[in-house]
Structure formats: C-alpha cells, structure tokens
Structure 1
Amino acid sequence: MLDNNTVTADSVKRAADNFAQDAGIVSNALNVMTTMTDQAAIKATALRAFKAESNEDNQRAVLAAAAGPAGATPNRKIQQYTPTVLDGLDAISKDASPDSVMKNTIMMENARNPNILPSITDLSNAALNAMGLDKSAQNLQKTVGQLGTGGGSTDRGTGSVDTNTSSQNSQNNQNNQNSQNNQGNQGNQNNSNN
C-alpha cells in the first residue's frame, strides 16, 4: 500500500504529468468521437481512451498517497465518477453508432467535466504541495464532444485546447451567424423592392 512515506517528489511529479496526459487522451477522444463517421476508428479511439482512463488509477493512487488528507475530497470524486467514464467508453467500443456515441459522450461529460477534471488538478496540486513542489498542475479543459464541433482540441495528450483552433472555430461560428443574418436581411430587402 502506498502512503506518503513510500512516494518521492519525482514519483509525484511524474504521476501528476502522466495523469494529465492520460486525461488529455480521454478528453481528445470525447471531443472528436461525435464528429467521426468511421465506426472502426471510433471504436479504436474509445479503446485508446479506455486504456488511458484505466491507467489514471495508477497515477491517482500515487497522488492520493502523497497528498494525504488534503487530497481526500478530489480523490473521492475521481473514484466516484471514473466508473461512469469507463462504462461509457466501453459502451462506445462495442456500439459506435451515432446515437450510442452521443448518448455516452453526454453521460461521460456530465460526470467528468464538473467532477473529475477539476479534481485531477486539485489532487495533483495537493500532492505536489505535500512534497514541497510548486502547485503546477494544469487546469484541464472541459470537453465539448456533445456539441458535435470537434472541440478544437488537438491530440497532444494534454487535454488542453489549441487556442488558435478554438478561436478560429469561434470566429467561424460568428461569421456563419453573420452570414445567415445578412441573407435574411437581403431576403427582406428583395421582398420590399418587389
């Protein structure tokens, strides 16, 4: 059994980094699976994310041991909500139909975004702090797969959103909205000219 006497500063730093990387793999999968059409590719993406989510437990154990009581709440939340994510990824790996992907993505994001992602950061920072290290765990971005937009995320395994792509997506959405408004206004002008 791990406790704060059996973990080292190096193992904690490595666990925090690996946890963020594993979470990033899952985030990237959730962001893109609803926009994918190749069911074999969807299943492969879900399986890769399932393995990463499963691996997170090893990282969580190291961080929880180092953090002690300061990490109890985020550790409990991670343990409470992780089965929902594993179940959803497993379901998608078996049924990659659009309905299954969307239903399971919504279920996973509803559990993961408000509970698991901030808890990973909190647990990592509590463990880093307990080891006398800077609280440098990254804030993991919420996934937006249920919107069906691809999330603007790139597969860097970090869970972070590429702000250039995300900004471009926002700009494109605004341009599309403006274009639709202009088309509607032109239609009104054409009607008034007749």
Structure 2
Amino acid sequence: MRAVTTALAMTTVLALAGCSGSGNSADPMASLQSATADGGVAGDRRCPEGPPPTGRLQNNPSGADKNDGVVGAIYNDSPLPIGIKVKDHRDDPCRLDPGSRAAYMGVDSVVIQFFAGDSYPDPYSELQLTDPFWGRPSVSLEGPMNCGRRGSYNVDGMKEGTGSTLGDAAGAGVVEVSRLNDDKNTAIAWSGVSSAGDWARIDVRVKSAPVCN
C-alpha cells in the first residue's frame, strides 16, 4: 500500500505543477504546506509577535495557581537572528530576527532558552524569570549550557521601574531586563490569562547571543 500511496501522491503533485502554465500563477506547493501548532507555515519559524504569546513562548501548566506569573516581551537587539523557546517545550525554537520582538508568559515562573543559532547544538543560555508568592520578582541567567565554562548571573527583588544587565558577551550572552509598572489590563491582555492582573511585567532585551568559550 505504501508504494501505491506514494505513486498517487507524486501523480497529484505533477498534475498540480502542470496547471501552473495555464494562466494560474498560484504556487501549486502552497496548498501542500502544513500548519504548525503556532498557526504559522511549516518551515517558517519566525516568532509570532503577539500578544498574547503562543506555543513555544508560554508556560501555562494546567491546574497551576495562576495568580502569580511573569509576562512581557523579548527583543532581539543583537545583530544576528537568535532562536528562543520556553524550556521543555516540544517544538524547536522560533526565530527572532534583529529588531524584532515576541511576547512571552509564564505562570509563577518561566525559563526561556535563547540560542546563538536556530536550535541545538548551537550555544544557548537559560533565562529564568520568577514571580514568587511572597516578595518581588527575580531573574537569573545561566550559560552557555552546552559548551565551555558556564556562568551564572542573577538579580533579586526587582522593584517596579527598575532594570538590570546580566551576562557576559564572551560566554552566556548579555540581556537587559526591565520591570515595568504593574498594570492589570495590560498583564491580562499580554498573557491571555484572566487572573494575571497582579503578574509582574518584565521586558527582556537580548544584546548579544551566547558563545562557546
């Protein structure tokens, strides 16, 4: 049956290709592209800008207490594309081009992996953003995770309207994190979670990607 199915599939593709010369300029392969879980087209892994975030950039476990969390945007201020995803998400990282942004969110905490290239085994680091039950948010950066000497950087007790720079351009990469003022409506709109009114809003700007050292 596999041989028959393959033959039929090839016949269908050839038939579609033959129609392109009859005044129909549509790409016959366009209808054969598969959609991804993020609603994009397979092969185009550009990060959706949002908000709200989708797929690779949200940590929203079922059954979790969703009164605490972190929400914001990730900006690529580096000169080259980077790959980003939430840790343990089943899909490959999406591509964040220079000058682009993407929304992210996480219930309680979220670990964002950012790559010097498209995916493994490119050097990558992990940025963890946490909104604790008690106290102010914290951010930690660790990397590169898969090569060279690993460094750890963190900032605790972030107040609204404050920021910090974490990392090392010769290792984990450099990120700037800024805690924005609390805003119930914005947090709900950006996270897509109705109970997110008290979530911490933290923007992340990737200044340089991780490198092996």
TM-score (ref. length: structure 1): 0.26
Name the structure with the higher strand share: 2
Q: Greater helix percent: which structure?
A: 1
Q: TM-score, normalised by structure 2?
A: 0.24
